[in-house]
Amino acid sequence: MQEQTPIGPVDATRVPRYAGPATFARLPRLDEVSRADVAVLGVPFDSGVSYRPGARFGPGHVRAGSKLLRPYNPALDATPFGTQQVADAGDVGVNPFDLGEAIETIDREVTALRADGTQLLTIGGDHTIALPILRSLARDHGPVAVLHFDAHLDTWDTYFGAPYTHGTPFRRASEEGLIDMERSLHMGIRGPLYSKQDLEDDAVLGFQVIRSDDYEVDGVRSIVERMTRRLAGGPVYVSVDIDVLDPAHAPGTGTPEAGGLTSRELLNTLRGLVGLDVVGADIVEVSPPYDHAELTGIAAAHVGYELLSVLALNRAGA
């Protein structure tokens, strides 16, 4: 059977970039294609936040910031929309009042979308959504390595007695056996902690830490080498909290911390994932009420573009 040519974004020479569909990168909707290799799924949910809300508006904001994305990625010599079918799956309808039900809904919807082999790039939403996604992935892959870009560890136990928040998903995931404890990695960690015990607890849960300051001392190339050594040998899930970027590059987020990565450092690091077994990814914590000039939405859209390029190259290599 002859493979169908992927349907790509709307032609920007015929429809101006400020017009056309409000999908990621102006791609077709999932119901407009026979099937997708990768689906971009929005999860407009922020009931797990501990400080500034607004990430429920993140998916639409990131889609708006993606209108300038073009079909060819020269940094990776990749055509992420030409060698795989990428489609926008719309948003999950998540209960904003019942966090437990929301987690179950996300798990169910993600599992249904993945049933035919479609990979997901999920746009949040707050970081709570990573837990149900990992539950879904682990049923097929077993424990996966988590590559976690964030200013924060997100392995705290509870907040105000609540076990499920945007600061706890990776502790719960580790306790549930969803994470490969020999291969998982935090990237870009910085800022004050409650105590030194936070780091000690985190190590027990299976993570190594590359700090934001390490980028300044060691450089991106060295960081990528350390990252690929840690992740090699099995499936990898990539979770990008946009607050891994310095607030100068991503002001529109709920818990900003000074001293973060530049957008250039983050994009170059993500390109180092080519050749690894990336089985899914998310971009979370984009909060448009605190964004100006679409800085954060644009940065998040480019993060998504690099991740889609990595998936395209990995698929071609496979």
Confirm if 154 and 169 have CB atoms less than 8 A apart. yes
> Residue 150 annotated as binding?
yes
Q: Is 264 exposed, middle or buried (0-12, 13-18, 19+ CB in 10 A)?
A: exposed
Q: Which amino acid is at 27?
A: L
CB neighbour list of residue 21: distance below 8 Å, 6 or more residues apart:
10, 27, 28, 29
> Residue 152 annotated as binding?
yes
Of 254, 249, 258, give the one whose Cα is nearest residue 295.
Answer: 249
> Residue 140 annotated as binding?
no
Confirm if 61 and 297 have CB atoms less than 8 A apart. yes
Of 50, 150, 61, 44, give the one whose Cα is nearest residue 106.
Answer: 44
> Residue 91 annotated as binding?
no
- Residue 30, sorted as left (phi over 0), alpha (psi -120 to 50) or beta, turns out to be alpha
Q: Is 191 exposed, middle or buried (0-12, 13-18, 19+ CB in 10 A)?
A: middle
Question: With the C-alpha atoms ordered 140, 237, 100, 204, is the resulting torsion angle positive or negative?
Answer: positive
Strand partners, 185: 147, 208
Q: How many CB atoms lie within 10 A of CB 292?
A: 9
Q: CA distances (Å), 254 to each of 49, 113, 244, 285, in order?
A: 8, 28, 12, 7
Q: Is 109 exposed, middle or buried (0-12, 13-18, 19+ CB in 10 A)?
A: buried
Confirm if 242 and 151 have CB atoms less than 8 A apart. no
> Residue 127 annotated as binding?
yes
Confirm if 279 and 235 have CB atoms less than 8 A apart. yes
Annotation: binding site for Mn(2+)? 127, 150, 152, 154, 241, 243
Annotation: binding site? 127, 150, 152, 154, 241, 243
